[in-house]
Chain A
Amino acid sequence: MESKAVYFSTEEADRLRRVFYEEVLSQAPSRPEEDFRRITEAWLAATNADWVWLWLKNPHLEDAPWELRELACRDGHRSRYVLLPFAVPARNTVTEYCSLTGKPEVVSNIDEWKKPLDGVEYLVCCKEKLREFRCQSFVTVPFRSPTPDNLTSSNSRTGRLQIEGSICFHFCEGNQVVNHPVESLRLMGQLTALTIVNAFKTGQQDILFDLNYLAHDYLTRVTRTPNEDRQNYILEVIELLRKYLNIGAASVFYQDDPQFSEIRCLATTGISQSPPDSIPRERWSTIIYRLNEGFTGKCFATGEAVVLSADKAQSHSPRYFEVLGGEVSGQNDAVLFPIPRARSNTQTTNDSQPLACGVIRCSEHRTSMGNRATRPFDPVDLQTLAFIAQQIAPVIETLTVRIRREQTISIIKHDLLAPLVMIRDTAEEMVAEADPGGVIKAKYYDVMNLGAAALVASGLVQQLDPDPGKIRIYSPERTLLERTIVARIKNMLGYYAEKENSMQIRFEGFRDIPPIWIDRELIERAIVNLLTNAIKYGAPSTRIEFIATTAPDTDCFRFDVINQGEGISNEDKDLVFERGYRSRSVIHKKMGIGLGLFIARAAIERHGGKLVLSSPRTPTVFSIYLPISLKRGRNG
């Protein structure tokens, strides 16, 4: 092949820029893969090289190999299929040497080139491969992106992309290495870096368009199946991940309930080469990771991306196996990327609060060859993933809030209809049985059914308040507890306890409590909530005690609700008063939304008192303290 001498001059710089503009920039918008191919083909056309190779390295991964991302050659595309995918270890190679020195390097003879740096000797490492393609000499030009930040979820918002790579010009037998001026080589390196960054940004616009379309589609739907909507949305996001990242397998994990620090698999593609002990795809929704459990749990806890390399470079052995849940295996590279938590939810209540609210797992990263060959994740992929994670986070959160809201409405609606049906049926039957003069002779249990059902229903209505802990009206009255509240609820709750759980309720000490200033409705609600909880979650056929005393050494009246239930675990005891909190020990017993104790505490605190869990074990004791000095003056 005839060699073309190239000298750096204004004309030469203009020529390279023109090639860059015509062959790469003017073809935009396109995807990174297409631009990588265009830039290598452009440099092939602009020089006398027989081959142009584009190497990239993942700076996020320690000892990451140099991966051959694209190549152009004069014998057409045949060689691409022969060579890609291909990677070399980071250590001791010419590419690594150039990256460390930051200078282009001319290798005139692949057998003789050898250079020391900081006590390490660098060599041409893939001589066999080069000989196979009759390459005898080459020039390597390193490049880096201008903003070398570490790529983590926290700085992914900046949109900065760190890349580290090199462009390599190979010369076959009969062709000569031309002494390209350093400036010319550097310009080609810079333009290549620019292409990569630019390709990513152009790709980002396409992704944004698709994600916006998807978000609009799902967020404007009015359906009664939010669970299905969220799953379908995530499945469509996975399809976009496959399209834009060229991956075969992806899974999305998400924290369904903020009170439990665990994430559940909401959707997955599964992997083509599942390890034998992995969970089959139809059971994917049972895959759960807790804080710091495996790589996925670590990503969830720290909010930082985890890049796992299966290392195609022969000198490295596979470094990871994610056993639990299975779909990431040691056979492929994988990346675990955090779904960022919305800013309003970043207030941490304790040290074990996870910093992400979900994780995207990707593997089976394919080359652009259209075959099943896989390749490592590079900085462009990570940045794309960061962008997608950021875009989908608020949409998934909104859909999750809808699921919780739908669940709450369903439970309250269900619970509210039960007493209403009972009230209606009983009333209808009482009327039907009235004597000819219209006098209704009600049976004792009919009246009790009506009263107890109405009491439960009125409590449920309060839970429909969007902010049930906020006391809007506070109207204290001088009240004799024994005569007003206790007399009202004693028989009805006693009847309810007997029917619901074969329990008895004993009231004690209320006769000794003098009149106090309280908001009757609020205190009755607090007492009813505590007693109905004791009825629902206490052991059947036991006795609940409700005891009033004057607390010694305090200026308070104390009211204890004592039941013989299973007790409250250490894990739950500090959380039982939190809004929406439901202990794991009760979720299989009764459905509920976790507002009873929250409302009770708010009502007591409005009186300047407190509600505490005095004994979490059996017997379980909740204590209300109300100040003796309560006066009308606390109003407002």
Chain B
Amino acid sequence: MSKPTVIFVDDDRFYAMHWIERLRDRFEVEHYVDAGDAKKAILKSRQISCLILDVMMPTPSSVPEDVTMGGLETGIWLLQEIADWITENSIPAIIMTNRELDLVQSAVAMINLPPGLVEVRQKLNTNRNKLLELVSDQVARWGRP
């Protein structure tokens, strides 16, 4: 039986690999460094079990800088863009950030998603084993093993 697919969006390949290597113990991981490319891939895919999004990333070239606050909230922009799709398909998402947690949580709360569908975690307080457990829990809870 093939592993469930997780989409990992983070512009830093080097550090992303640190998390991805552990996630590959249980999941198939697709990594995107550009939020615009990630959006296209997510909306096209039918087989995603979970999304992991960074928040601070470069603004995609087709998007005005102010929409993402100069890249400070690119992950929030991406979440907004795919909000309907993940709600309809019950795809859980985990926001992994080094930004202030309360700022990110309030930005996510404004998107109006089903409770529990999106979890916000600070990278500093989440080691890669914890992330692996969290993704597994979310996948089990939202029913796309």
Contacts and interface: CB of A to CB of B under 8 A. Distances in A.
Interface of A: 224-225, 227, 264, 285-286, 407, 410-411, 413-414, 417-422, 424-426, 428, 449, 452-453, 496, 499-501, 587-591
Chain A to chain B: the 10 pairs with minimum beta-carbon distance, closest first: A417-B98, A500-B14, A588-B61, A414-B98, A418-B15, A499-B14, A425-B127, A285-B66, A500-B13, A414-B56
Contact of A591 (B57, B64, B100, B124): B57
5 contacts: A414-B98, A417-B124, A421-B18, A421-B124, A587-B71
Contacts, number: 70
Contact of A419 (B15, B34, B56, B60): B15
A587 B59 contact: yes
B26 interface: no
A449 B17 CA distance: 10
Nearest to A445: B21
B28 interface: no
The main secondary structure of chain B at its interface with chain A is: loop
Contacts of B92: none
Contact of B103 (A224, A424, A496): A224
Contacts of A590: 11, 58
Nearest to B72: A410
A391 B51 CA distance: 48
Interface of B: 11-15, 17-18, 34, 56-61, 64-66, 69-72, 98-100, 103, 123-124, 127-128
Contacts of A225: 103
Contacts of A286: 64, 66
Contacts of A589: 58
Nearest to B122: A417
Contacts of A413: 98
Contacts of A588: 34, 58-61
A224 to B, nearest CB: 6
B23 to A, nearest CB: 13
Contacts of B65: 587
Given A285-B64, A414-B98, A418-B15, 18 more contacts: A286-B66, A407-B70, A407-B72, A410-B72, A411-B56, A414-B56, A418-B12, A420-B124, A425-B18, A449-B18, A496-B14, A499-B17, A500-B13, A500-B14, A588-B34, A588-B58, A588-B59, A591-B57
Contact of A452 (B14, B70, B72, B123): B14
Contacts of A452: 14
Nearest to A411: B56
Nearest to B61: A588
A596 to B, nearest CB: 16
B2 to A, nearest CB: 26
A588 B70 CA distance: 10
Contacts of A420: 124
B66 A421 contact: no
Given A227-B69, A588-B60, A410 B99 contact: yes
Nearest to B74: A591
B10 to A, nearest CB: 9
B105 to A, nearest CB: 13
**B12, B60, B99, B123: most-surrounded residue (chain A CB, <10 A):** B12
Contact of A501 (B13, B15, B72, B123): B13
A591 B14 contact: no
Contacts of A499: 13-14, 17
A62 to B, nearest CB: 37
A500 B56 CA distance: 17
A586 B17 CA distance: 22
A410 B66 contact: no
B133 to A, nearest CB: 14
Nearest to B100: A224
Contacts of A425: 18, 127-128
Given A264-B66, A500-B14, A591 B127 contact: no
Nearest to B63: A588
A420 B98 CA distance: 11
Contact of A418 (B57, B72, B123): B123
A224 B100 CA distance: 9
Nearest to B36: A588
Nearest to A422: B18
A587 B123 contact: no
A264 B67 CA distance: 13
Contacts of A591: 11, 56-58, 71
Contacts of B56: 410-411, 414, 591
B121 to A, nearest CB: 12
A457 to B, nearest CB: 11
A424 B125 CA distance: 11
Given A224-B100, A591-B57, A591-B58, A421 B123 contact: yes
A317 to B, nearest CB: 36
Contacts of A587: 58-59, 65, 71
Nearest to A227: B69
Contacts of A422: 15, 18
A414 B56 CA distance: 8
A473 B66 CA distance: 40
A290 to B, nearest CB: 15
Contacts of B18: 421-422, 425-426, 449
Contacts of A419: 15
B107 to A, nearest CB: 11
A542 to B, nearest CB: 15
